Amino acid sequence: MANETYSATSGAAGRAGIWSAIVTIDGVDQSARVVGDIRVEIEEGAARIAELTIRPAAGATFQIADWVGKPITIDVADIASGSPASVRRLFTGLIDTPTLDLDLKIIDLACTDNLQAIIDQIGAAAIDALTPDAYHSPVVFDPAATGWVRLQDRLSTWPATVELDAAGAARLSLWGAAGSAAMTFTESHLLDGSLSVSLSSRHQMVNSITIDFAYRFPRVKAEEYGIAYDYVNLGNLAQHVIDGNWFLRRDAAEAAIRAAGGTIQSITFTPLPNTAIGPWVPNPTVDDQLCMGFSASVSFDYAQQVVENHTITVETDGSIAAIGTLEETLSGALEGVYPPIQSAEQAILLYANDVSGIPPLDTATPLLGYTTAADVTLTADTDRAAANGAMETLIQVAKTRIWAAHRRNRLTASVPLNPALDVDQTVDVFTTNVSAHGKVARVSHVLSPANGQAVTEFSLAICSVAGTGVSHPETPTAPPAASSPGSSALTLTPTADFNFGPTEDHRITVTFPGVEDIERDLATIAIATAFDATIPEDMLLITL
Amino acid sequence: MTANDRASPQNLVDTLGRLEQGAGTTTLQRKRLPQQPVLPSIGQRTGSALSQAPSS
C-alpha cells in the first residue's frame, strides 16, 4: 500500500525525504518567518488545533488586528525537486490567541479550526443531516439547544464523532473500525521505540446501564350498568290500587338516573295494562306517562391517571462475564399534557347529557356490565410517540456509553510525518510483538524545521474486553412495550326504590355503586425491558 | 527561553483544553415526574326524583 509513507518525509528512489512547511496567514505566505516546531493536533470530536511561532521581520509593527482571527493554513510539501510537490494540507483554521514575546520579538500562535463556531453557525437541520442516524428527543435533551450543544446531544446517541477535515469541511467519523485498514504500519514504518499501549482501567468501564423512565398520562373510562326495577305487576296491580298506592312516572325514573350522574344509554318501561284489572281502569290520557317498572342501561364516565414505570436494562453480557458488572443509571420522565382530569370528566358528562353541545376530547365506549377504558389525545410533545422516542434515545445513550467505555484502550506509535493519518482512518499495526487493528482516535503532527524532523504520532482506539473474535450481539433499539387500555367486569349492582305508599313522599331513588379504587386511583404499571448493547472487539495481540 | 520552551507539552495541553472545551457535554438531565393531586374517589351515586301524579 502506498498510504503508509509520504515521499516528503520518507524519501523516494533511494534518497532521504526533503520537506518544507508552507504557512499562510491571511493569504500571505509566512513560511520563512516560522521558528521552532509546528504542531498540529487532531482528536476525535474536538477542534483541530495548531501551534507555531512566528518571528516577524525586524522593525515590523505589531497590531492585534493583524493576528487575532486571521485565517491560517499549514501545508507540508516535498521539495526534493527544488519546488513544492505533493503538497498536503495539514491545517485550515484561524488564529485564536497570539502571544507576543517582547524580549525575543516572536509571536506564539495558538490556532483552531473553529469547529465549535462553525457547528454553531450551520443550524439544526444541517446538524441533523450531518448525524442522520443519531437519535434526539426533546424529552431527554434540552429542546432549545442549538449548534454545538445539539450536536453533542445527538452524538451521545450514536457511536461517532464530528470533526473538520484538514480542509475545514465537517465530517462524521464512526467509532467502528473499518473491516480493511487504509494503512498497515510495520516495523519498517514505525519509529524505533515509539510503540506503546495504554489500557483502560476497570473502574472506567461500564457494561450495564439501567434506565428508569416514568410516563404518566390519563385514560378515560366508562362503566355501564344494567338496572331493572318493577314495583308492581299484573298480579298485584289490583291490590296496589285498592291500597291507594301511587304509580311511577317515566320522566321521574329518567330524572332520578340523571340526578345520580348517569347517562341513559337505553331505557324501556313496563307499561300499564290496556285492559281493566279489578278496580284499575286504563286511562289512555296519562297511562303512557306511567310505568310499572323500567329496565335501563346507564353509563358513567370518569378518568384515571396511569403511570408506566419502565425499567430498561442495557447490557453487554460478554463484558459482564469478563470483568463483572459495572453499572450506571439513567433516568427520564414525561407527563402527558391533557386538560385537568375533573374538567375532562365534566365535559364528558355535560355533553352526554345534552347540557353542552361541545364534544369532549375523548370518551371510552361503554359496554354493558364492564368498565372500559380508552387512551386520550395528548399533545404531540407528550404523547406515546414522544415517550417512545425518549426511551429509544435513552437506550441509544446507554449503548453509546457502553461502547465508549470499552474503547479507551490506546495503541500509540509514531511514523515519519504522514498527512494521510487522520481520525477517520482505520489502521493496522503489525510488528514482531504487536498486531493491532483499530480506528485512529488522535493524531499529532510535529514539524521541526530546525532539525529536519517531521513526525506523526497517532493513537488507535482499541475496543476490547473479551478478546479478539468474540462477538457481542445487539438488540435493535425499539420502543418498550406499552400498557393498553383494558376492560373489567363490574361486580356490584345498582338498586332502585320507589316510595309509592299513599303517605310516602312518592320519590324514586336509584343508587349506583361507587367506582372501585383500582379503577380510579393512580394506576402504577411496572414494565421491564432488556436490550443487548454491542461492542466490537478490535484486534490487539501482544507478545511479550 | 526559546520558542520551543514556550510550546512545551504543558502549554499545549492548557491550550488544547481551552480550545476543545465542551466536547462531549450534553444537555441530558435526570428527570422525575412532578407531584400531582390525588383524584377524589367516586363513591355511591344516588339520584332521586319526585313522581308527581299526572293530571288527567
At residue B23, the pLDDT reads: 59
Phi (first) and psi of residue A99, to 5 degrees:
-120, 120
Q: How many CB atoms lie within 10 A of CB A281?
A: 9
At residue A2, the pLDDT reads: 66
pTM of this prediction? 0.90
Q: Are residues A156 and A238 in the same domain?
A: no
Proportion of chain A in helix, strand, coil states, percent, rounded to 5: 20, 40, 40
- Written as one string, the DSSP assignment of A460-479 is EEE--SS-TT-----PPP-P
Helix/strand/coil for A220: strand
User: Quick check: B50 and A506 CB within 8 A?
Assistant: yes
C-alpha cell at A361: 376530547
* Chain A neighbors of B32, CB-CB under 8 A: 214, 331, 333
Helix/strand/coil for A109: strand
Q: Are residues A231 and A149 in the same domain?
A: no
Helix/strand/coil for A10: helix
Nearest to B54 among A249, A261, A300 (CB): A249
Nearest to B47 among A110, A332, A510 (CB): A510
Q: Look at the block and give the residue holding cell 361507587.
A: A514
At residue A165, the pLDDT reads: 95
Q: Are residues A61 and A126 in the same domain?
A: no
Identify whether A538 is part of a domain: no
Identify whether A96 is part of a domain: yes
Tell me which residue of A213, A215, A214, A205 sits closest to A328, measured CA to CA. A205
Largest CA distance in chain B: 121
Q: Look at the block and give the residue holding cell 493554513.
A: A73
User: What is the spatial distance between Cα A211 and Cα A215, in angstroms, rounded to a whole number?
Assistant: 13
Q: Look at the block and give the residue holding cell 451521545.
A: A156
Residue B4 has pLDDT above 90, yes or no: no
Q: How many domains does chain A have?
A: 3
At residue B7, the pLDDT reads: 41
Q: Are residues A77 and A123 in the same domain?
A: no
At residue A315, the pLDDT reads: 98
At residue B31, the pLDDT reads: 83
User: Quick check: B32 and A331 CB within 8 A?
Assistant: yes
Identify whether A419 is part of a domain: no
Nearest to A53 among B3, B15, B36 (CB): B3
Q: Are residues A147 and A232 in the same domain?
A: no
Comparison of pLDDT for A323 and B29, the residue scoring more: A323
In contact, A29 and A22? CB cutoff 8 Å:
yes
Q: Are residues A87 and A169 in the same domain?
A: no
Identify whether A528 is part of a domain: no
User: Quick check: A152 and B24 CB within 8 A?
Assistant: yes
In contact, A320 and A243? CB cutoff 8 Å:
no
* Chain B neighbors of A145, CB-CB under 8 A: 27
Residue A89, beta-bridge partner list: A75
Q: Are residues A247 and A271 in the same domain?
A: yes
Amino acid at A190: L
Phi (first) and psi of residue A294, to 5 degrees:
-155, 160
Question: Testing the interface with B: which of A48, A308, A510 to mutate, by most B Cβ within 10 A?
Answer: A510
At residue B55, the pLDDT reads: 58
In contact, A254 and A267? CB cutoff 8 Å:
yes
User: What is the spatial distance between Cα A191 and Cα A186, in angstroms, rounded to a whole number?
Assistant: 10
Identify whether A476 is part of a domain: no
- Our CA-based measurement puts residue A186 at a distance from the nearest CA of chain B, in whole angstroms, of 28
* Chain A neighbors of B28, CB-CB under 8 A: 140-141, 153, 156, 330, 397
Identify whether A231 is part of a domain: yes
Average pLDDT over every residue of B19-25: 59
- Our CA-based measurement puts residue A142 at a distance from the nearest CA of chain B, in whole angstroms, of 6
Question: Testing the interface with A: which of B28, B36, B50 to mutate, by most A Cβ within 10 A?
Answer: B28
- Our CA-based measurement puts residue A102 at a distance from the nearest CA of chain B, in whole angstroms, of 12
- Our CA-based measurement puts residue A152 at a distance from the nearest CA of chain B, in whole angstroms, of 6
At residue B32, the pLDDT reads: 86
At residue B47, the pLDDT reads: 96
At residue B1, the pLDDT reads: 35
Q: Domain span at residue A159?
A: 119-174
In contact, A407 and A429? CB cutoff 8 Å:
no
Kindly provide the ipTM of the predicted complex, given to two decimals. Answer: 0.74
User: What is the spatial distance between Cα A177 and Cα A80, in angstroms, rounded to a whole number?
Assistant: 35
In contact, A54 and A37? CB cutoff 8 Å:
no
Q: Residue ranges of chain A with pLDDT lower than 70? A: 1-2
- Our CA-based measurement puts residue B37 at a distance from the nearest CA of chain A, in whole angstroms, of 10
Q: How many CB atoms lie within 10 A of CB A395?
A: 28
Identify whether A433 is part of a domain: no
At residue A58, the pLDDT reads: 87
At residue B6, the pLDDT reads: 40
- 3 state SS for A429-455: EECCCEEEEEEEEEEEEEEECCCCEEE
Q: Are residues A280 and A234 in the same domain?
A: yes
Nearest to A397 among B4, B28, B56 (CB): B28
User: Quick check: B15 and A97 CB within 8 A?
Assistant: yes
CB contacts < 8 A, A to B, total: 184
Identify whether A141 is part of a domain: yes
Q: Are residues A61 and A157 in the same domain?
A: no
* Chain B neighbors of A509, CB-CB under 8 A: 46-48
User: What is the spatial distance between Cα A498 and Cα A508, in angstroms, rounded to a whole number?
Assistant: 4
In contact, A8 and A86? CB cutoff 8 Å:
yes
Q: Cβ contacts of residue A298 below 8 Å, gap of 6+?
A: A224, A225, A226, A227, A257, A260, A262, A263, A264, A265, A494, A512
| DSSP H or E stretch at residue B19 | helix B9-20
By the 10 Å C-beta count (0-12 exposed, 13-18 middle, 19+ buried), A517 is classed as exposed
* Chain A neighbors of B44, CB-CB under 8 A: 511-514
Q: Cβ contacts of residue A479 below 8 Å, gap of 6+?
A: A388, A391, A392
C-alpha cell at A219: 385514560
pLDDT-derived band at B18, boundaries 50, 70, 90: very low
At residue A13, the pLDDT reads: 74
pLDDT digits (tens, 9 = 90+) for A172-192: 999 999 999 999 999 999 999
Q: Are residues A15 and A100 in the same domain?
A: yes
In contact, A466 and A537? CB cutoff 8 Å:
yes
* Chain A neighbors of B43, CB-CB under 8 A: 514
User: Quick check: A511 and B30 CB within 8 A?
Assistant: no
Q: Are residues A98 and A168 in the same domain?
A: no
Q: Are residues A134 and A229 in the same domain?
A: no
User: What is the spatial distance between Cα A155 and Cα B20, in angstroms, rounded to a whole number?
Assistant: 16
At residue B22, the pLDDT reads: 53
